[in-house]
Amino acid sequence: MFISSAFAQTAPAAAGGGDMLSSLGSMLPLVLMFVVLYFVMIRPQMKRQKEARAMIEALAKGDEVATAGGVLGKITSIGDQYLGLEIANGIEIKIQRSAVVQVLPKGAVKQ
């Protein structure tokens, strides 16, 4: 008595090829957004990482470098993971290779 009868409605027949085309059209902006994101953000970031990796691998004894912490010095010894860095006359510290962020021109560090 309190529950009214529910009548099922029949769904309209789906159109054959028009549905596929409209779904592709609605995905096109999303695909374009990912393409733009790749060329604007991802690709330049990968290029910077590759350049930084090449710079760290090319470090040599006698190079003058700047570290991520702002320490300037001359490389005195090179290991697989660590570098010996002379920051003043007779003062040498050990740093990780990955801490080097820039190779300075010769003569930039006055000791």
Beta bridge partners of 93: 85
Please tell me the total number of residues recorded for the chain in this structure.
111
- Using DSSP bridges, classify how beta strands 64-67 and 100-104 pair: parallel, antiparallel or unpaired: antiparallel
Q: What integer pLDDT is reported at residue 20 of this predicted model?
A: 74
As a whole number of angstroms, the distance between CA 24 and CA 85 comes to: 58
As a whole number of angstroms, the distance between CA 58 and CA 38 comes to: 29
Each of the 111 residues of the chain gets a pLDDT tens digit; together they read 566 555 555 555 555 555 777 787 888 888 899 999 998 999 999 999 999 999 999 999 999 999 999 999 999 999 999 999 999 999 999 999 999 999 999 988 876
Beta bridge partners of 78: 83
Tokens found for residue 37: 């994101």
For residue 76, the one-letter residue type is T
